[in-house]
Amino acid sequence: MALPSINDAFYPTPDETLAIALTNVRYAYDLNGVEVNVTDGSELFERFKVLADLVSIAINNNRIALSDVSPLDASGDALTELAGMYGVYARPASSAAGVVLCGVAGTGTVTVPVNFVGTSPTGIQVKTVSAFTISDGGGVTVQAVSGGDNTDLEEDGIITWDSAAIGSLDQVATVGQGGITGGADADTEDEVRRRLLQRLRDPSIGGNAAFVASTAEGASAAVERGFVYMGARGASSYDLAITRDTGDRVLSAAVVNTVASIVVGEMPGSANLNATSVLAELVDVVIDVTLPLPVNAGGAGGGWHDAAPWPSDADAADTYAEITVVDTAANTVTVNSTALDIPLVGQRIGIWDYNEEEMHEFTINTVAGPPGAYVIKLDGAMGFAEVGMFVSAGAINLTQYADEFLAAMKALGPGEKTSNIDKLPRALRYPGSDLEYPQDITSIQLNSVMREHPEILNMEYAADPGPAIAAEAALHALFTDIGSPTVATIETDPPNVLVVKHLSFRRKT
């Protein structure tokens, strides 16, 4: 977009304008050997002051006008009008959608009508999107009555139907697999600006990949980004994968179907669309960190909590201070660390809760057991703890490290749909991962944390490759080096996106 501009534009204040004018007058008179009075109260001063005040109004109006037509600076109504010129509009809040599983008495079926309303224990109301005839255990698709990111409901949550008019239908239903998701707040100015800049950077024309992606994003505020794979299933085909920016990045089938219908409606004669969300490919990430020791241990402070932080990279190969036993009654965890720098009473540690996406911090109250099976009693509630989680060494900014690394992981995009050289490079993901939404775990994620924290001297992924956690090998692998999502098994499958599950930060010795 070409904007009106003046190279090195200078927008002087009224006082600056007056000073410039009087300096020029004094200089012109001086060239002719005449000394002129331009002090405050002189005739020339008063004349040029009036002129400076008038000119400054025009100067500032010019600055405001340029701001209003700049996608970087426009705000309020100006941004709305500018974005609308390019077909970008603020999306209203979207309602979460998903499936609830119903109980039906006996062996028969019941028909649940459209707009049949149920309520969660938190007060979120949902309604059926159409009529469903189901038997016991059957599912019905529902959508939240209101919009917003607070309308999501977790898998296995409870919905109580507001009406008991269907006699054979159990009054209580259960939220199905994947939960009720897709709730999102209305677009902020920053989101409108991002989508406008994206449209300007890569115009959507005539059904190209950019057109498909932008149409998908415009369909619902639940959609973070649309990724397009042209020709992955052969000529005239196009695949679309949509993501959300929370949780496992997966959007419900209800949201996918809504987006797909809108995209197809905007692509007449091109109905060969395969629309999906993404598939979360879970990884565990262990990061070795170099931080200053506390001042009382001879360090600069601002880094580790303890003089001898635990755990560290001094553990045996393939050992990452993993929790192997959880005893919530005794408030203890058993950890397989074998390092010489052992856990000590009074040390600070952290445990990442992947369900709540939160790093919990604790102080060690007692330590028992031998190396490889330390039984550690913690000072706080640890009901979230599970076998397979890792322990982090206590740092002053540990929770921030975790939050910022998680944010960097959520900036990843999905991988590819095919590795067939006869279909590539046309079938490569759009936008390409080298331009936007990288698909790999690299130093980019570490650098995003280090940029925010000058106390971090170094960060690196745990260098020794380890196996997947035995009990969960089918679910996720231990990431210890640069990693990429695996290519989809078949082209119609959702593409994989890397999602962090277990996360920990160790001391680099």
pLDDT at 398 over 90: yes
| pTM for this prediction | 0.78
Helix (H, G, I), strand (E, B) or coil at 348: strand
Taking residue 212's Cβ as centre, other Cβ atoms within 10 Å add up to: 26
Report the distance separating Cα 460 and Cα 446, nearest Å: 7
Contact of 156 with 355, CB cutoff 8 Å: no
Q: Which amino acid is at 417?
A: K
Among 478, 442, 483, CA closest to 460: 442
Per-residue pLDDT, 482: 47
Q: Which amino acid is at 250?
A: V
| Sign of the four-CA dihedral 450, 451, 453, 455 | positive
pLDDT at 479 over 70: no
Give ∠ CA 339-343-348 in degrees, rounded to 5.
125
The radius of gyration of the chain from alpha carbons, rounded to an integer in Å, stands at 30
Which domains does the chain possess?
Answer: 14-70 (no CATH), 97-175 (no CATH), 183-277 (1.10.287), 283-509 (no CATH)
Per-residue pLDDT, 6: 45
Per-residue pLDDT, 464: 42
pLDDT at 119 over 60: yes
Name the residue with tokens 């009473």.
345
Among 161, 159, 160, 156, CA closest to 177: 156
Report the distance separating Cα 192 and Cα 89, nearest Å: 7
The helix (H) or strand (E) run that includes residue 98 is strand 97-101
Arithmetic mean of pLDDT, 479-490:
76
Per residue in 64-77, pLDDT tens? 677 777 888 888 98
Cα 346 to Cα 221, 305, 377, distances in angstroms: 47, 10, 11
Arithmetic mean of pLDDT, 38-58:
85
Arithmetic mean of pLDDT, 362-376:
95
pLDDT band for position 309 (cuts 50, 70, 90): very high
